[in-house]
Amino acid sequence: MDTVETVTADELVEDIQSGVLQQQLEAMIPKFWSFFWSAVLALIVFIIGTRIIKGIIKVFHKAMNLKEVDPGVETFLESVLRWILYIILLTIILGLFGVTTTSISAAVAGLGVTIGLALQGALSNFAGGILILVMHPFRVGDYIIEHASGQEGTVDKINIIYTTLKMLDGRLVQIPNGTLSAASLTNCTAQSYRLFNETVGISYGSDIAKAKEILQDIAEKAEHRLEISPIQVFVAELGDSAVQIGLRFPVDIDHYWTTKWDTLEEIKNRFDKSGIEICYNQLDVHITQ
């Protein structure tokens, strides 16, 4: 007689589940290997792509140097080019995982609106950077004074979002391009010279003619003075506590600060030797009985 085996409901469910699980695992193995090789290929593409991008950037710099493009324009365009190349590389890598160009374009369009609303300030800074490069209110190497926050220094870099200023003490300050393009600023090195323009207050009892003679002599002996315009020595103001004597003469822009510091020191020393009193704010009080 044949033996009839009985199978319980739980065993039947287990058999079905194990069979389904085995089928799912067998179906996932090809997908896993496909994903694995896609990841390996993506890594290879990324390594090769980054090297290609570095090569393109080097060629770009050589081309800019041959055409003698402004360093600020070169830095800005390099940043834009680098972003574009890495976006293209990312698109290629996503394509290896089956993401279509249409899907990427739709995602970029959706993200563009969201990012545009969230990064309005950054976009204004980007637009400000373009205005700076087109209008050239300053260039890399210029010494500027930004009036909105009072920052001043030598322009070190002009990037997509920020402009970097190098201060006199070596600090680097980043100022948004939107601020620089919208606010007023002073470019101290736009020309080849800068005017020494200072006033010195002397007492009303001092000899004005002697003071003017000393200032004239100091200016004539200034090492880096330019003879493009005459020296000006004049009475600028009759103040409450002093007579303000003004001195103006053009100085070579590269030696402006040293000339200014040396000239002010020389004025103090010469006035002291000549008995000319440099005044400070004071108040005379007269008491009547």
pLDDT digits (tens, 9 = 90+) for 29-51: 666 666 777 788 888 888 888 88
Contacts of 151 (CB under 8 A, 6+ apart): 145, 165, 173, 175
Contacts of 127 (CB under 8 A, 6+ apart): 177, 178, 181
Distance CA 172, CA 174 (A): 7
The pLDDT value given to residue 1: 45
The pLDDT value given to residue 66: 76
The pLDDT value given to residue 113: 54
Distance CA 147, CA 154 (A): 15
Q: Could you say which residues of the chain have pLDDT below 50?
A: 1-5, 7, 117-118
3-state per-residue secondary structure call for the chain:
CCCCCCCCHHHHHHHHHHHHHHHHHHHHHHHHHHHHHHHHHHHHHHHHHHHHHHHHHHHHHHHHHHCCCCHHHHHHHHHHHHHHHHHHHHHHHHHHCCCCHHHHHHHHHHHHHHHHHHCHHHHHHHHHHHHHHHHCCCCCCCEEEECCCCCEEEEEEECCCEEEEECCCCCEEEEEHHHHHHCCEEECCCCCEEEEEEEEEECCCCCHHHHHHHHHHHHHCCCCECCCCCCEEEEEEECCCCEEEEEEEEEEHHHHHHHHHHHHHHHHHHHHHHCCCECCCCCCCCCCC
